[in-house]
Structure 1
Amino acid sequence: MAIRTFGLTTIALPDLDEPGLYLSNVDSLDSTRGSVQDFAYGNADLRSLDLAETQLISGRITGIHAQRTELESVNLHGVEITSSDLGSARWAESKLTRVHVRDTKLMGAALDGLVLDDVLFEGCKFDYATFDKVRATGPVAFIGCVLTEATFTDCDLSDVVFSDCQLRLTEFGAGRYRDTDLRENDLSQIRGVAHLAKVRIDPGQQAHLAEALVNELDITVGDD
């Protein structure tokens, strides 16, 4: 098991190179048994990646480029997703446990009803993505991610870490943000400041939040 720590949050990630674990190459993530385990899948250009009612356990997904992605009730446990482009992803009603998503594009993705536990998103692009009713039930971090005009609605992001992320016009709607760690980010262009009760920031970010609030309320600042 690999461990990564960000601020006060420690995330347990899959160690797919541990002794005794052998990953078999597979041509598809579909399975009549409803689960795929100890697998390696990658380097494929797909018109669509459609999965439903599936468990992916202990595996590596690398270099997948899909024009369209539809995932319904697809649970991941001990999975790495790297260097992939999950175009126009729609991912709903699924649980991710000990998952590491790195250098992957989920631009315009609709993430609905996901439950996250020990999940790290690192260097990912979530431009224009929508997070709806996403719940962090364990450690979760977004590190070095781009979330331009992404929207969080009715989410529970308690204790989630955002670090070194691009949050231009990122909107935080109604939800739970107790101890959400927003340090080490430029917050001056975020939206939904009024919803961010009980978050964690650095002293220097107070000015960022004030600027964001002025912009959101379309306040004119002048001497005359």
Structure 2
Amino acid sequence: MRTSAVGDVTILLPDLDPADLDPTTDLNDNLNDNLSDTLVENASWRSAVLDDVPVRGSRIVGTDLSESVWEAGSLFGCEIVRTDFSGASLSGVAVERCVVTGSRFTGARLTDLRLKDVLFEGCRFDYATFTRVAATGAVAFVDCILTDATWSSCRLPKVVLRSCRLDRLELESCQLTGADLRGNSFHDLKTTLGNLRGVTLSDEQLPDLTRLAVEELGLTIRGQ
């Protein structure tokens, strides 16, 4: 069993052997097989539509899924590497025991996703919108770009963010109790203090937290 520890969280990872996977680049030929035990490399699936399709035990590498639409369905036990989801729309998808590395979600719309044992590493989520995304197990973002993104009505307790860029990330009505946000700059974070209730921070982040409090309370700070 493969695992990855990020902070105090241990994430179960897929354990795939490429030799056991069936290679393909044709999406339509594999929908009847539910994309199970498949190796997809350098495919062009731009604007693809996946409606309630389960994807299991598969490895997707260097594939263009920009502007694609994913409705319901699931991703289980998958590895996704250097894949482009720019402008994609994912709604109602359950993602479990997956690792996503070096992939691009610029401008993607992620709605009603359910995450459990998911690791995002070195991914871009700039200008992406997370709406009602919920974690039911361990979830971590490592070395990810979340600039100008929006998290709205998300429930991500105990999520871990490490070495991520959060410039102008906007939080709206989120529940992040128990989240570990150490190692990230809050300098341009756009949020009220309520969204940070119960999170774990480091000493170095206290000046940014103070700035947020001063702005929210409308305080005037003057010298004596």
State the TM-score, normalizing by the size of structure 1.
Answer: 0.92
Deviation at 1:29, TM superposition (A): 3.7
In 2, Cα distance between the equivalents of 1:34 and 1:137? 27
Deviation at 1:85, TM superposition (A): 1.1
Higher helix share: 2
Q: Is the 8 A contact 2:27 2:45 kept in 1?
A: no
Matching residue of 2:120: 121
Question: Partner residue of 1:154?
Answer: 153
- Mark the CA change 1:220 to 1:73 in structure 2 (over 3 Å): closer, same or farther: same
**Structure 2 equivalent of residue 23 of structure 1:** 21
Amino acid at match of 1:171: E
Partner SS for 1:205? helix
The one-letter amino acid of 1:25's match is P
Match of 1:76 in 2: 75
Q: Which amino acid aligns with 1:181?
A: D
Distance 1:67 1:97 in 2: 21
Q: Give the Cα separation in 2 of the matches to 1:112 and 1:170.
A: 17
Corresponding pairs, count: 222
TM-score of the superposition, structure 2-length normalised?
0.92
SS in 2 for 1:48: coil
Query: How far apart are residue 123 of structure 1 and its match?
Result: 0.3
Q: Does 2:26 match 1:14?
A: no
1:168 counterpart residue number: 167
RMSD, aligned CA: 2.0
Is the Cα–Cα contact under 8 Å of residues 34 and 55 in structure 1 kept in the other structure? Answer: no
Distance 2:202 2:62 in 1: 37
Q: Partner amino acid for 1:57?
A: R
Whether 2:219 is the aligned partner of 1:197: answer no
Q: Which amino acid aligns with 2:48?
A: L
SS of 2:208 mapped into structure 1: helix
Structure with bigger strand share is 1
Deviation at 1:188, TM superposition (A): 1.8
Distance 1:92 1:166 in 2: 25
